Chains A and B, each alone.
Chain A
Amino acid sequence: MIALQQISITTIVYLTTIVAVAYYATRRREQGRSIVANPHVYSLTLAVYCSSWTYYGSVGRAATSGLDFLTIYLGPTLVCFSWWFFLRKIILISKKENIVSIADFISSRYGKSNYLGMIVTLFAVLGIVPYIALQLKAIAYTFNLLGELPEVSSSPLHELIPQIPHFIDTAFIVAIFLSLFCILFGAMRLDSTERHEGLMAAIALESIVKLIAFLAVGIFVTYGMFNGFTDIFGQFTNLYPEKEHLLLIPSECGSGARWFTMTFMSMMAIMFLPRQFHAMVIENSDHHHIRTAMWAFPAYMFLLNLFVLPIALGGIITFNGDTSLADYFVLSMPLASGQQSLAILVFIGGFSAAAGMVMLESVASSTMILNNLAMPIILRCNLKKSDISSLLLNIKRIAIVSVIFLGYFYYRTLGTSEALINIGLISFMAATQFAPALLGGLYWERANHRGTAIGLIMGFFVWIYTLIIPTFVDAGWLPLSVILEGPFGLEWLRPTALFYLNSLDMWSHSLFWTLFFNVGSFLAFSIATTPTSSEVSQAQRFVQVATWKEPQHQHTRISKAPTLMEFVNLMSKFIGEKQANTAIASYLGDREIDEKGSLSEHEIPNLKLFTEKTLAASVGAAAARIIIENYLSARGSKMEDVFNIFGTVSLSRKASREQLSVLYEAAHAVSSGADLGSIFESILDLLYHQFRFDLCAIRIYNEETNILELRNFRGIDTEFLSHANREINEETCIGTTYVLNKVILANDSDCIDKPLSMEIIRREGIKSFAHAPITVEGQPIGVLSSYSRYAKGIYTDEFIELYKNLAAQIGIAWRNANQTAQLIKASEHEKELRIAESIQLGLLPDKMPQLPGVDIAAICVPAKQVGGDYYDFIVQPPNLDIVIADVSGHNIGAALLMAEARTFIQARAQQLPSSQAILDVLNRFMHDDLTKAELFITMFYLQYNSDKQQISYANAGHNHPLILRKGSKTFEELDTEGLILGIINDVTFEQRHCPLNTGDLLMLYTDGIIEAENNLEEMFGMEQLKSAILENADLSAQEIIDNTMSLARMFQGRRHFNDDVTIVVLKIDNTINP
Chain B
Amino acid sequence: MSNESTTQQRQIWLIFFFLGIVMLNFPFLQIFNRVETIFGIPILVLYLLCGWPLSIVIIFIFTKTIQCEDCDKHPPED
Contact = CB atoms under 8 A, between A and B. Distances in A.
Interface string B11-45: 00100110011001111011001110101111011
Interface in A64-79: 67, 70, 73-74, 77-78
Contacts of A248: 33-35, 42, 44
A82 B78 CA distance: 12
Contacts of B75: 92, 546
B40 A229 contact: yes
Interface of B: 10, 13, 16-17, 20-21, 24-27, 29-30, 33-35, 37, 39-42, 44-45, 48-49, 52-53, 55-57, 59-60, 62-63, 66, 68, 75-78
A298 B59 CA distance: 9
A230 B38 CA distance: 9
B44 A306 contact: no
Which bracket fits the contact residues of A? 35 or more
B40 A78 contact: no
Interface stretch (A276-284, A289-297, A338-346, A723-731): A289-297
A259 B29 contact: yes
A251 interface: yes
Nearest to A303: B53
A964 B63 CA distance: 114
Contacts of B25: 256, 259-260, 263
Given A70-B48, A81-B62, A233 B42 contact: yes
A53 B35 CA distance: 29
A613 interface: no
A70 B49 CA distance: 10
A249 B29 contact: yes
B26 A302 contact: no
Contacts of B60: 294-295
Q: 9 closest pairs, A vs B, by CB?
A: A256-B26, A230-B40, A546-B75, A295-B60, A247-B42, A81-B17, A291-B63, A295-B59, A298-B56
Interface in A235-270: 237, 244, 247-249, 251, 255-257, 259-260, 263
Interface string A951-977: 000000000000000000000000000
A52 B40 CA distance: 30
A234 B48 contact: no
A229 B39 CA distance: 9
Contact of B26 (A80, A260, A294, A442): A260
Contacts, number: 119
A85 interface: yes
Given A233-B45, A263-B25, 14 more contacts: A81-B55, A82-B13, A82-B17, A84-B13, A85-B13, A86-B78, A244-B35, A248-B33, A256-B29, A259-B26, A260-B26, A263-B21, A298-B52, A299-B56
Nearest to B29: A249
Contacts of A247: 42, 44-45
Contact of B76 (A73, A292, A299, A546): A546
A908 interface: no
A89 B75 CA distance: 9
Interface of A: 67, 70, 73-74, 77-78, 80-82, 84-86, 88-89, 92, 229-231, 233-234, 237, 244, 247-249, 251, 255-257, 259-260, 263, 288, 291-292, 294-295, 298-299, 302, 306, 309, 442-443, 546-547
Looking at chain A's contact residues, the main secondary structure is helix
B78 A81 contact: no
A546 B77 contact: yes
B68 A288 contact: yes
The residue in A74, A81, A255, A547 that gathers the most chain B C-beta atoms within 10 A of its C-beta is: A81
A581 to B, nearest CB: 31
Contacts of A70: 48, 52
Nearest to A306: B49
B65 to A, nearest CB: 10
A886 B53 CA distance: 117
A249 B20 contact: no
15 contacts: A70-B48, A70-B52, A78-B20, A81-B59, A85-B13, A86-B78, A248-B35, A255-B26, A256-B29, A260-B26, A292-B63, A294-B63, A302-B52, A302-B53, A546-B78
A82 B9 CA distance: 11
Nearest to A290: B63
A74 B25 CA distance: 10
Contact of A256 (B10, B27, B48, B78): B27
B62 to A, nearest CB: 7
Contacts of A298: 52, 55-56, 59
Given A244-B35, A298-B55, A78 B21 contact: yes
Contacts of A442: 78
Nearest to B75: A546
Contacts of A88: 76
A77 B26 contact: no
Contacts of A229: 40-41
B53 to A, nearest CB: 6
A775 to B, nearest CB: 45
Nearest to A244: B35
Contacts of B49: 306
A586 B47 CA distance: 55
A80 B42 contact: no
B37 A233 contact: yes
A1004 to B, nearest CB: 92
B60 to A, nearest CB: 4
A67 B24 contact: no
